[in-house]
Structure 1
Amino acid sequence: MKIVVASANPAKIRAVQQALSQVFTGHTLQCSGQNTPSGVSAQPMNSAETLQGALNRLQAIASDAPGADYYVALEAGLDGDCSFAWVAISHQGRISKTRSASLPLPPAALVAIQQGEELGDIMDRMFAQQNIKQQGGAIAMLTNHILTRSEVYKQAIILAMIPFIKPELF
């Protein structure tokens, strides 16, 4: 089964691989990622913009990499004082989407975001790290590594798969 992720981010690709391995037990999965533009700002500032970024990525990857069984796009953004992601999945022309859990952000991070910085860069600075967004993400840093970005994405990916797991209900 061929799955294409609309991102080159290892944390996102890992989340998709792990989630769909659970959904499709016994199947061999070929999961790859490709850098895909979101068409929205680098740091989406609300749910609507974040969803649009995920849908834009989904549409772009489907035309850039034809022939996959599933296309998956994840877009992280803000909703008020929390960070979250929209997950959009396409299979045979059908789209399913859902949101991840929300992560409350420290006030200093929110101020920096309002000044135009991206969350990953802010977390790198706050925790003296490099490239957090391609590792455990802000989630890992703020939960003392109890949760990671991939784990939270994995849950949302599985939830977005429900219409494909139980198509008779949708």
Structure 2
Amino acid sequence: MSTRIVVVASLNPVNVWAALEGFQRMFPELRFEVATVSVPSGVSDQPLTDEETLTGARNRVANARTAKPAADFWIGIEGGVAPLDGELAAFAWVVVCSKEIVGKARSGTFFLPKAVSELVERGVELVTADDLVFSRTNSKQAGGAIGILTDNVLDRKQLYEQAVVLALVPFKNQQLYSPKPAEG
């Protein structure tokens, strides 16, 4: 069985497991070895727009590729929020690249409760707002806001894993997607 190296641009176990499980689901015939690296996103600690969040994921991939160039895939996951219809929507962007192909996808979107939204709008990072409002500790490395709000019917890893699978569509269907120069 062939082994591929995947560099995850994060040390957060939720992101690492989401990446690994997404790859394994899409390519069960391959074996994956994960390497992690902490790299800057180049955006705010709490991205506040769709564009800023996607830019953060792209930057993480580019920085991971620079830090660990001897890999088969690099993956960046960036969580963000954006105002929509007077509420604050939460989501993540995932970018995956190889030497020839780039795939990207956005996770499902959900809306934050008013108490959390107000803190985030005042400059508090979402994870900190969740911990304050829901009396939790380090929810970022657990179920996240979605896990808290759904009583873990859906957690952060599952939300991100689905986006990883979607970002891998061009890799699974290379004949349908023209190879592009790798970008972050």
Q: Which interval holds the TM-score relative to the shorter structure?
A: over 0.9
The corresponding residue for 1:5 is 8
For residues 81-160 of structure 1, what are the structure 2 equivalents within 5 Å?
81-160=88-167
Tell me the SS of whatever aligns to 1:147: coil
Deviation at 1:26? Answer: 3.0
In the TM superposition, what whole-angstrom CA distance separates every residue of 1:17-40 from its partner, at most 9, and x where no partner exists? 111111121322101221110000
Identity of aligned residues (%): 36
Tell me the SS of whatever aligns to 2:55: helix
Inter-partner Cα distance in structure 2 for 1:148 and 1:23: 20
Letter in 1 for 2:124: E
The corresponding residue for 2:58 is 55
Letter in 2 for 1:19: G
In the TM superposition, what whole-angstrom CA distance separates every residue of 1:53-76 from its partner, at most 9, and x where no partner exists? 111111000010011111010001
Name structure 2 gaps, 5 residues minimum: 178-184
Letter in 2 for 1:142: L
Inter-partner Cα distance in structure 1 for 2:153 and 2:76: 25
Name structure 1 gaps, 5 residues minimum: none
Inter-partner Cα distance in structure 2 for 1:94 and 1:169: 12
Count of residues paired in the alignment: 170
